[in-house]
Amino acid sequence: MLDIQTLRNDLAGVAARLAARGYTLDTAKFEQLEAERKTIQTRTQELQARRNAASKQIGQAKAKGEDVTAIMAEVSSLGDELKLLESDTLPKVLQALDAFLAEIPNVPHANVPVGKSEADNVEVRKVGDVPKFAFEVKDHVSIGEGLGGLDFDTAAKISAARFSLLKGPLARLHRALAQFMLDTHTEKHGYTETYVPYIVNAESMRGTGQLPKFERDLFQVSFGGVDSKAIEQGYEVKTDLSTGEQTGKVFERLWFLIPTAEVPVTNMVRDEIVPLEKLPLKFVAHTPCFRSEAGSYGRDTRGMIRQHQFDKVELVQIVHPEKSYEMLEELLGHAETILKLLGLPYRVVKLCTGDMGFSSATTYDIEVWLPAQNTYREISSCSNFEAFQARRMQARFRNAAGKPELVHTLNGSGLAVGRTLVAILENYQQADGSVLVPEVLRPYMGGLTSINAI
């Protein structure tokens, strides 16, 4: 969430910077809401002053034995209007302002290249040599199915399209990748491993910026049951929309499956004040991720590239504002290390203003080479959100003067496990249909050097 004081002081400047990322800030709406707020707060202050003066008059009049009926009637009237303004009118305007701010994306950092789409992203570097094959290259679907370890039909029977089922050595390779990533980030990069909930509340989703903007991309979860105490504690009774009758089942208002571990891990510091000496906080988590992929139909329908459920090892850093860009480069390097150790060719690109995520001020994408597509595909995004998420979460630290100040938050995939598996299958494929196991993964695979058909 943007600082409202910045909007008040430089509305045109903020609008111009947001326009660079393709977002049109409704300045008229903001000015209208601000005018309403100012009018109400001015009237509230006038009423408070008048009530205080009238109360003083009552005391003075009573001391003189004068009739105070008219003054008391005025105080009562002032009190009624004041109560309405303070308990209803002003909260509604402030709520409208908060809702307005919640829909505004982050302002791009000054160093972010200006552009409209991924075509305008800037390549930073390429690492590793693209492999050359003396045989016809297969994609990961053909390779995995040929090995007997990748089954989309059974996954669809069990659940739906865009789910996958792994078995045998491929399932073990998937597990090995996650363990290898966790070990590397905890033992070499200084992250603290965390195990976090996969289902979170709406406050957590709002804190990292998934709500309210991207609700249609999330999977919601309802818990059924009947409990009068639950209703008192904020649950609501489910109503049959066709009849208007209550069914008797009680459901909590909003729960969500996590789209990324960024949500629960970053929210660890929501409503917290972190001691200065504890910064930076560095966490890593391996979780499944759940995404509806709304609006992406027709894209990457074959294989494991775009799934409703996938695993990811996520890196999160909570840092001092003065060091956040230094730490972003560090975090990016940590994610790159995994690809280097796996011997996978990749490139790093800096996203332009029109291709960045909602909450990001700066984002690097790491794209791994996929031979079957003859191109690089995203395998990690590493972002600095500056104070955008922290302001939504009220995540702070005590600065050198002992005063609370917003932290900066960063995260990045270190890496997406399924896409890393895809890259290994395609880059390490052999003419006979087998797949070599990267050397660093062999200890996690019981010494296995290649995967052959089951």
What is the spatial distance between Cα 157 and Cα 150, in angstroms, rounded to a whole number? 14
pLDDT at 241: 47
pLDDT category of residue 73 using cuts at 50, 70 and 90: confident
pLDDT tens figures, 327-375:
999 999 999 999 999 999 999 999 999 999 999 999 999 999 999 999 9
Q: Over 50: is that where the pLDDT of 417 sits?
A: yes
Give the residue numbers of the binding site for ATP.
291-293, 378-381
pLDDT at 404: 97
Whether 425 contacts 143, CB under 8 Å: yes
What is the spatial distance between Cα 193 and Cα 94, in angstroms, rounded to a whole number? 39
pLDDT at 54: 74
Q: How far apart are the first and last CA of the chain?
A: 51
Mean pLDDT score across all residues of the chain: 91
Give the residue numbers of the binding site.
260-262, 291-293, 314, 378-381, 411, 413
Q: Kindly state the percentage of the chain with pLDDT values over 90.
A: 77
Whether 249 contacts 237, CB under 8 Å: yes
pLDDT tens figures, 110-160:
999 999 999 999 999 999 999 999 999 999 999 999 999 999 999 999 999
Give the residue numbers of the binding site for L-serine.
260-262, 291, 314, 411, 413
What is the spatial distance between Cα 216 and Cα 205, in angstroms, rounded to a whole number? 13
Task: Show contacts of 224-228: CB within 8 Å, 24+ apart.
Answer: 224/249, 224/250, 224/251, 225/249, 225/250, 226/250
- In this prediction, residues 160-182 reach a mean pLDDT of 97
Catalytic residues: 291, 306, 378, 381, 419
CA torsion sign for 296, 103, 208, 5 is positive
